[in-house]
Amino acid sequence: MADTERSLPVFDAAGARITLFQALLQAVSRHGKSRVAVEDAERKPLSYGNLVLGALVLGRKLAGYTQPKEHVGVLLPNVQALAVTLFGLSAFGRVPALLNFTAGVKNLRAAGELAELKTIVTSRRFVDQAKLEDELEALGENRRVIYLEDVRKEITSLDKALGALSSLAPGLIHRSHAAAPDEAAVILFTSGTEGKPKGVVLSHANLVSNARQIFALAAGFLSERDIVMNPLPAFHSFGLTAGLLMPLLSGMKVVLYPSPLHYKQVPKLIGETGCTFLFATDTFLQGYARAADPDDLKSVRYVVAGAERVKPETRRMWEPYGTMILEGYGCTECSPVLACNTPVAMREGSVGRLLPGIEARLEPVEGIHEGGKLCVRGPNIMAGYLSADAPGTLLPPEGGWHDTGDIVTLDDGFVTIKGRAKRFAKLGGEMVSLAAVESMVSGLWPDTNHVVVALPDARKGEQLVLVTEKPNAERSVLQETAKVQGFPELWVPRAILVTNSIPVLGNGKIDYGATLELARSRRSLL
């Protein structure tokens, strides 16, 4: 793919210093109340006007159960009610804490404590369908649980009349409750795979900035006429900001689906709604391409993929549809998007050019001779962490800089990822990228998943172990491949562990922590 260049797009950082609800009202003013904003699997389109009205009615009711600036747990899938709840809480100065219902009881409990939650908003239908009774029981202990079905029953004619009246001047209503742009807008939670889970506090300005940075970068190929399919859950920042807020605040219709793992249903909904733009990961893209009927995906012009490298096989699977797959990069602490390739600014092997308004520096890492650890600063960088070690205390990034923990190279703003700083092994004094070894293995066996982990070694400090789904994977074949391709012998894993399935997180990412534990638990078999 050619290296295509263009000047950086313009991003108005000052104009993004508003609340989420103010940004929504600006979108309504620009695109009209009758324009469709959100659709979901129920196929009942919700207009911008009704989204604002619903947010005002629901937000007022939820405000009666909560306090200004209170952190409110939200346990909901990708449905219209999620968007209404999110903006309803924002309209009345509450802070949604978006809970990962796939994280298990332990992590949900930790999230509730980190965010000091007193109230949980959820849906009986969702809890029943997703079989989350145990999780909700653990999470809801000593907390008020509010079911949206009950709230709907409590809405009176007076509530509706007040909502309709408020919708005539929603900005006025919001101003009396609004947070400052730099105050908390949402709380998300890290997976905890590299330690205890953390709460990531993103401000209103963080989220609005990143949504507009993304749209500014995409202005040459994405417009308000596009229809965005988002099956990625909002409790992950990619699904929240890129998949929900960016289209909504830019005038695009967004189609929500509650699970990215429904490989047959997602393509079918894409075909029914004529979606032109899709956010996904490589794992999900392969699943959709395999399960889709012939006409399901033909409307998709572009896919933006993050979280993991897009495999050549995945691109081949999508070629019949004429879809261009663009790789992007980010992390929760950055709201999340930091860089993305576009059709007019693309560099093969990179994850794209940094978004406008982002400063970057590379810190040297011992044993790394090319690139360095990426640190970033900008309007999208989080307000700070909530940590179990300091409950109730916001820990802001020092000097506004966030250490991504990724080893990268930078060239004219294009970011090329070499690996996680924590995903390097030191073998005989040399630093070896686990991601680079994985790339070598994937080139040999492209049709299966592979993870390389480092285990302690008495002689060399650490040793590499390949965890793979490839049956009958042989070390001798790896050795020969490394030799032919000019890779050092050091790169060849000392041992191979074959497993039926490599652990993944709810967002489709590899669960490196769980994979490492798997290798440790079976070390005696290696």
What is the architecture of the domain spanning 428-525? 2-Layer Sandwich (3.30)
SS3 120: strand
**477-494 pLDDT per residue, tens:** 888 888 887 777 777 888
Per-residue pLDDT band for 1 (boundaries 50, 70, 90) equals very low
Q: Alpha carbon of 390 to those of 55, 114, 122, 198: distances in Å?
A: 33, 9, 28, 11
Per-residue pLDDT band for 372 (boundaries 50, 70, 90) equals confident
SS3 383: coil
43 with 272: CB under 8 angstroms? yes
**395-454 pLDDT per residue, tens:** 999 999 999 988 889 998 899 987 776 677 767 556 677 877 887 888 888 878 888 888
How large a percentage of the chain has pLDDT more than 70? 92
Domain ranges of the chain: 428-525
Higher per-residue pLDDT: 103 or 269: 269
pLDDT at 428: 58
pLDDT at 526: 62
Question: pTM higher than 0.85, yes or no?
Answer: no
Instruction: Say which residue the tokens 């890129």 belong to.
Output: 242
pLDDT at 3: 46
Mean pLDDT calculated for residue range 108-126: 93
- The listed range with the strongest mean pLDDT (177-181, 324-328, 416-420) is 324-328
Angle in degrees, 0-180, between the axes of helices 48-63 and 157-168, rounded to the nearest 10: 120
Instruction: Say which residue the tokens 């992007």 belong to.
Output: 328
pLDDT at 192: 55
User: Could you say which DSSP state residue 106 is in?
Assistant: H
**277-316 pLDDT per residue, tens:** 999 988 899 999 999 998 999 999 999 988 777 888 889 9
Kindly report which listed range (64-78, 154-168, 235-249, 444-458) carries the lowest average pLDDT score.
154-168
pLDDT at 439: 77
**354-366 pLDDT per residue, tens:** 999 999 999 887 6
**Calpha distance 275→166 (Å, rounded):** 33
Range 360-365, long-range pairs (CB < 8 A, 24+ positions): 360/410, 361/401, 362/408, 362/409, 362/410, 363/403, 365/407, 365/421, 365/424, 365/431
Per-residue pLDDT band for 5 (boundaries 50, 70, 90) equals very low
User: Could you say which DSSP state residue 238 is in?
Assistant: I
| Side-chain half-sphere CA neighbours of 282 within 13 A | 21
Per-residue pLDDT band for 94 (boundaries 50, 70, 90) equals very high
Tokens for 235? Answer: 């409790």
- Torsion from C-alpha of 251, 252, 257, 259, nearest 10 degrees: -90
Q: Where are the beta strands (DSSP E) in 126-232?
A: 144-147, 184-189, 199-203, 227-230
Instruction: Say which residue the tokens 């939650």 belong to.
Output: 117
pLDDT at 443: 80
**Is residue 116 over pLDDT 60?**
yes
How large a percentage of the chain has pLDDT more than 90? 54
240 with 218: CB under 8 angstroms? no
**Is residue 380 over pLDDT 80?**
yes
How high is the mean pLDDT of the chain?
87
